[in-house]
Amino acid sequence: MKILMLTPYLPYPLLSGGQIRTYNLLKKMAAQHEITLFALIKNEEETQYIAELEKYCHKVRVFKRSSKPFTLRNIFKTAFSSYPFLVIRNHVASVIGAVQQELATQHYDLIHAETFYMMPHIPPCDVPVMLVEQTIEYLGYESFAASTRHQWLRPLLNIDINKIKYWEKYYWRNCNTLVTMSDNDKDFIAAQIGDQTDKIHVVANGVDTEWFAHAPFAKKSEPTLLSVGTFKWLPNIEAVRFLIHQVWPLIRARRPDAKLWIVGNAPTQEVLHDAQKDPQIEVSGRIEDIREAFAGAHILLAPVFSGKGTRYKILEAMASGTPIIATSTAVEGLGVRDRHEVIIADTADKMAEEALQLLQDAPLQATLSQNGRQFVRRNYDWEFIAGQLDEIYRHVGENK
């Protein structure tokens, strides 16, 4: 089949969950389908990575959007547009014309759009459109608005959140096929759009289990608790704030030798400032090989309370054999069992207590490590995930 894929990022290098997902699926799907990729970039330096994607794509075209989101132009346009800021900052008018020209000169069986905010780039056409929702955006923004310390900001945020909610649901209803990351996300969206549930499918995130299983890195000598996740996603910012201010002090008081290691692209000034005040907190930002973090830590802590979608940090930690203590939200939809593949803790007190006990329980660490590796190998290896996406592609092709 011939697929035209639209992404709000270049799927390489692998700095975010979206990039990891798209890159690995492109690798796995290249042999079965001819994929043309249209991707947004922030700066010209990103063009150096096009060659890596051309290994798996028939053609790659990039379109530049503003390098920084909060420009006066983006803010002004949002104020006078029915679209939310999330759409405006990711909107490049020239993409619409490029898609029109591509469809006029080439036959395509399917348009694959990653995220709802790429949908406005698709002009009216007869080609089936598949929307992939990596998360449910408006839920994450609602959580952020509810927790912001700046009361004056909430009314402005709520105006924009209502726009996100409207357009996200609009594109759920108007795409031909909708793909979610989990059954929980599927059920949530189905409840929003009513009688169109037959068009919703689940293609979860995955992990390269063999690559993570062979990590040439040593565990740190001091007891190390790990936090992983890009700071460009609001639920991760909330999670690290909760971890530093509510969980970590409880652990630090009883295990002064313990270390909190925070790894994630683009750490905020708030996190960097917190780390400066505590020598036992290390912020690494982005590291070249994420296996170093998982292999070096004794436990992954994942206090995620908002957002949808499956979590790469959970899958990668299990593939690496790193024991996990996480909130229910962090593992929602994965199918893991409490105290078998992970330990679930939904309060600061419980997460701290479980971490303190697990640091002293080597047999339980080994059990969680072994069970986690087996679980992701069976259910979330990219080979298996790509097979699910291939089935949907072919189903759409057969029924268009």
Q: State residue 400's pLDDT score.
A: 67
Nearest to 228 by CA among 287, 141, 161: 287
Query: Would you say the CATH fold of 209-379 matches that of 2-206+382-399?
Result: yes
Q: In angstroms, rounded to a whole number, what is the distance separating the alpha carbons of residues 217 and 107? A: 48
For residue range 13-48, list pLDDT tens digits in order.
988 888 999 999 999 999 999 999 999 999 999 999
Q: State residue 159's pLDDT score.
A: 95
pTM for the structure as a whole: 0.82
Q: In angstroms, rounded to a whole number, what is the distance separating the alpha carbons of residues 208 and 382? A: 6
CATH superfamily for domain 209-379? Glycogen Phosphorylase B; (3.40.50.2000)
Q: In angstroms, rounded to a whole number, what is the distance separating the alpha carbons of residues 389 and 386? A: 5
Q: State residue 151's pLDDT score.
A: 81
Angle at 324 between CA 323 and CA 328, to 5 degrees: 155
| Positions of the chain with pLDDT lower than 70, given as ranges | 307-310, 400
| Residue ranges covered by each domain of the chain | 2-206+382-399, 209-379
Query: In what order do the strands lie in the sheet containing 34-41?
Result: 59-64, 34-41, 2-7, 110-114, 129-132, 177-180, 200-202
**Fold held by 2-206+382-399:** Rossmann fold (3.40.50)
For residue range 55-103, list pLDDT tens digits in order.
999 999 999 999 988 899 999 999 999 999 999 999 999 999 999 999 9
Q: State residue 308's pLDDT score.
A: 61
Instruction: Specify the amino acid at residue 165.
Output: K
Q: To which residue do tokens 């079965």 refer?
A: 32
